[in-house]
């Protein structure tokens, strides 16, 4: 009897060792050279991004690590389906996290990638969990594009889920940390909050080469779809970040201000005194309300110090929107900006006036 139990134990340990060995290989993604190329661009790997984002005192449960295992060998394989995903805690809030692995075929979507991402969206919807997309993808893997779109449970359903989750009130945050091309560009645009990293993050349906082929115009990727373009001109993105760490930190701040929908849509933490004295409002705002002033100064007299996160800072500048805490409570601000502002296009706009872009910004913020 003991011999049989011993053999069983040895077999189980051997099996676990084999699984762990395969997992370690999967965690290498596209391999050492691909990781080195990522580092040369001052970019973290998908797993490093998740490690930095999540609370280090709570577990991260990876889902679908064996998705794509020994599949697509004729194309070099697709470790973890080209996506690292799971459930973890961010600022104390349980979230679903989906991160493109750029080291695997530039983060391109294989058929199994779409199915894995759909499953993560289902987990988010079924459990009412916020979902965070860490985007760094070249879009659909073109040699297999005929196998990605046609089925009901394929790539296109992801965007249907984006709309459904929005209607359900499930928060979706997308951080564009690298390329975001073609079909994959819809996902961050349809998310509630979109963050972009300067110089590395880009969103476009057709790249510079296609623009050249179509209309004969030479244009660089940054001008066509970089962070400045989408934050200050198109208004597609909501936050512009100098580097990945700043971007991931901002996600933590946003998640930290989300209220739990049951039993209430707001929450409270230990309050912090505002950075400015509340009585300074009387010096900032003139008694007859005719003198221009910066409404940010007013907010800093009310909001807890360091808590205000401005939404679409470079777009629709005659309205200021953002998340903050007041006496520890999670709140949102929508405020007229009384300064005369200048747009990226060089247009001068009067403070306190509603323009098309500022109305769109306020509507988007209130809906979210």
Q: What CATH number is given to the structural domain containing 161?
A: 3.90.226.10
pLDDT band of residue 124 (cuts 50, 70, 90) is very high
Query: Could you say which of 195, 225, 256 is where a domain stops?
Result: 256
In a domain, 138, yes or no: yes
Q: Which two tokens stand for residue 292?
A: 């221009």
In a shared domain, residues 159 and 292 = no
pLDDT bucket at 264, cuts 50 / 70 / 90: very low
Clarify whether residues 240 and 290 are in a common domain.
no
- Out of 178-192, 258-272, 346-360, which region has the weakest mean confidence (pLDDT)? 258-272
70 & 131 share domain: yes
Specify whether 315 is located in the same domain as 187.
no
Q: Is residue 23 part of a domain?
A: no
Are residues 237 and 285 located together in one domain of the fold? no
Does residue 6 fall inside a structural domain?
no
Give percent of the chain above pLDDT 70: 94
Q: Are 245 and 325 within one domain?
A: no
pLDDT of 52 above 60: yes
Residues 90 and 201 in one domain: yes
* Pair 166, 315 in one domain: no
Residues 104, 195, single domain; the answer is: yes
Q: What 3-state class would DSSP assign to 217?
A: coil
Cα 131 from Cα 337, distance rounded (Å): 32
Q: For tokens 């979109």, name the residue.
A: 194
Sequence-distant (6+) residues with CB within 8 A of 60 are 50, 51, 54, 86, 87, 88, 89, 97
Residue 22 lies in a domain: no
On whether both 315 and 251 belong to a single domain, the answer is: no
pLDDT digits (tens, 9 = 90+) for 130-177: 999 999 988 888 888 888 877 777 888 998 999 999 999 999 999 999
State whether 140 and 176 are in the same domain: yes
Q: 118 near 165, Cβ under 8 Å? A: no
pTM of the entire predicted model: 0.83
Same domain, 57 and 170: yes
The per-residue pLDDT for 263 is 47
pLDDT confidence of residue 8: 56
The residue range of the domain holding 354 is: 278-367
24 is a domain residue: no
Within-domain flag for 134: yes
Chain CA centroid to CA 4, Å: 52
Structure tokens at 31: 């391999």
The region of weakest confidence among 256-270, 282-296, 333-347 is 256-270
129 within domain boundaries: yes
269 within some domain = no
- Max mean pLDDT among 17-26, 44-53, 200-209, 340-349 falls in 44-53
Average pLDDT, the chain: 88
Number of domains the chain contains:
2
Q: Which of 1-15, 29-43, 175-189, 353-367 has the lowest mean pLDDT?
A: 1-15
């Amino acid at each position: 009897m003991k011999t049989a139990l011993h053999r069983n134990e040895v077999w189980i340990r051997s099996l676990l060792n084999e699984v762990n060995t395969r997992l370690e290989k999967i965690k290498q993604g596209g391999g050492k050279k691909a990781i080195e190329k990522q580092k040369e661009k001052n970019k973290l790997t998908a797993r490093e991004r998740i490690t930095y984002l999540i609370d280090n005192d709570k577990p991260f449960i990876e889902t679908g690590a064996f998705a794509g295992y020994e599949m697509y060998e004729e194309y070099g394989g697709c470790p973890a389906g080209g996506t690292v995903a799971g459930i973890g805690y961010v600022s104390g809030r349980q979230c679903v996290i989906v991160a493109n692995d750029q080291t695997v075929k530039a983060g391109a979507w294989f058929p199994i990638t779409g199915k894995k991402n759909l499953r993560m969206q289902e987990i988010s919807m079924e459990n009412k969990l916020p979902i965070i997309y860490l985007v760094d993808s070249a879009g659909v893997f073109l040699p297999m594009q005929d196998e990605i779109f046609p089925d009901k449970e394929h790539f296109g359903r992801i965007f249907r889920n984006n709309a459904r989750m929005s209607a359900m009130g499930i928060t979706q945050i997308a951080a564009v940390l690298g390329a975001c091309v073609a079909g994959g560009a819809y996902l961050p645009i349809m998310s509630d909050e979109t963050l972009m990293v300067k110089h590395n993050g880009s969103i476009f349906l057709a790249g510079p080469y296609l623009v050249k082929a179509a209309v004969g115009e030479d244009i660089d990727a940054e001008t066509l779809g970089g962070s400045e373009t989408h934050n200050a001109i198109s208004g597609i993105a909501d936050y512009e970040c100098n580097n990945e760490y700043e971007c991931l930190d901002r996600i933590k701040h946003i998640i930290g201000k989300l209220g739990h929908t049951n039993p209430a849509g707001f929450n409270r933490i230990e309050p912090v005194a505002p950075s400015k004295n509340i009585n300074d409002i009387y010096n900032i705002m003139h008694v007859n309300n005719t003198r221009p002033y910066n409404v940010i100064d007013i907010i800093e007299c009310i909001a807890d110090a360091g808590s205000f996160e401005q939404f679409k800072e470079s777009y629709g500048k005659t309205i200021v929107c953002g998340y903050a805490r007041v006496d520890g409570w999670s709140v949102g601000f929508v405020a007229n900006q009384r300064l005369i502002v200048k747009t990226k296009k060089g247009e001068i706009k009067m403070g306190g006036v509603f323009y098309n872009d500022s109305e769109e910004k306020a509507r988007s913020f209130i809906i979210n």
